[in-house]
Amino acid sequence: MTDSPLLKSEDLIEPPVLRAMRRSVVGLLERRPGDARARVQLVRLHRALGDLEAAQEACTEYLRLHGANDEIRRFKYFLDEEPGAGSRVGIAGPAPFVRLANVLSPADQAAVWSLLEGASGALAPATVRWHGGEGVIGEIRHSLRMTCPERALDRLLPALRTAIEGRGLPEAFGLARPPSGSVESEVVCHMEGGHFGRHSDNAYGDSGRLLTCVYYLHRKPARFTGGDLLLHDAQSPEGPRSPIAFTRFAPDDNTALIFPADVGHEVTGVRSGVNDPLEGRVSINIWFHGPRVPDAAPS
């Protein structure tokens, strides 16, 4: 008999692998319902699969059976749309987020689609930025992008600003600086093979970006699969690192995801047989900037 091949780290984001692991943990809990570690793992697997309703139920069950656990409490607060309470539970664990549904009215979304169609000739290969340079690196980021038309932003920004103000962001995410009112934006289209490896939108701390908002819209029926956003946990430097430490969000039409701009995230591979970029996975990415930090005075 030969040994089974070891799982690679990249396998641990694949839904078939995660579903198999979840089945194993569920079986374990049927035999040992008091296993607290297995219940924590079940929550992690639910959220890694993007099954947030099941994750919420599993969090509630864990807290009922085992009492306080910072990772579980933190994530449940985010699910319950209490980001301020969640951000106060430790410095590590699930990344803060707010998810919005039914962001635009049908009329506003139709208007946005019309504006994107009119501007789609500006789409060009997306670049990545590194310290000291910027360029197209398809192995890291494979998509097309353009600046979002101003009139499309005029339709979208009021709903997003209302959500941000109503939830006390970014302070509720533990960020001290308020938004300055300045934003930047882009439209991104992923077709066959599209992806974006793990990155942060404020990796070097010099972009001014405070909050990231990703608004999803797609044609119906959807002509692509994949393209999930994985929002990676903040890892404690003292504690052990879990190999499954992220929350998955599907790019559902007319939803938006808001999170701190310095949180690590990635876009999983897209499968699509279409040639029109606007028939693939489409998102409007908006970054809300903080106030400009003054330059240090000369000594």
pLDDT score, position 6 = 56
Q: Which two tokens stand for residue 41?
A: 């793992």
Q: What is the pLDDT of residue 298?
A: 40
Mean pLDDT of 102-125: 97
CA distance linking residue 57 with residue 80, whole number of Å: 11
Mean local confidence (pLDDT), 15-33: 96
pLDDT band at 68 (very low <50, low <70, confident <90, very high): confident
Tell me the average pLDDT of the chain: 91
Query: Between helices 106-119 and 150-166, what is the axis angle to 10°?
Result: 140
Mean pLDDT across the stretch 36-40? 96
- The C-alpha atoms of residue 118 and residue 70 are separated, in whole angstroms, by 48
Crossing angle of helices 36-48 and 70-79, in 10° steps, is: 40
* Contact predicate 87/172, CB 8 Å: yes
- pLDDT at position 243 is 82
Min mean pLDDT across 13-17, 63-67, 154-158, 236-240 is at 236-240
Asked which of 48-52, 59-63, 287-291 is least confident by mean pLDDT, the reply is 287-291
* DSSP state, residue 34: T
Residue 160's nearest CA partner among 226, 204, 89, 112 is 112
pLDDT at 180: 78
CB atoms within 10 A of CB 286: 22
What pLDDT score was predicted for residue 89? 80
| Rounded CA separation 50/159 (Å) | 24
Q: How far is CA 235 from the centre of its chain?
A: 16
Residue carrying structure tokens 């701190």: 260
> Which stretch of 4-8, 153-157, 181-185, 247-251 has the lowest confidence by average pLDDT?
4-8
Distance set, CA 251 to CA 71, 111, 150 (Å) = 25, 20, 23
Highest-confidence segment of 5-9, 32-36, 176-180: 32-36
pLDDT by residue (tens digit) across 114-147? 999 999 999 999 999 888 889 999 999 999 999 9
Top-confidence residue, 235 or 98: 98
Those residues whose C-beta lies under 8 Å from the C-beta of residue 163, and which sit 6 or more positions away, are 98, 100, 169, 256, 258
Q: What are phi and psi of 118, to 5 degrees?
A: -70, -25
Give pLDDT tens digits for 146-198: 999 999 999 999 999 999 999 999 889 988 777 778 999 999 999 999 999 99
The one-character DSSP state at 263 is S
Inter-helix orientation angle 36-48/52-66, to 10°: 160
pTM of the model: 0.92
DSSP 193-232: T-EEEEE-TTTTS-S-EEEEEEEEE--SS--EEE-PEEEE
The total of other beta-carbon atoms located within 10 Å of residue 72's CB is 26
pLDDT at 87: 82
- Amino acid 1: pLDDT: 36
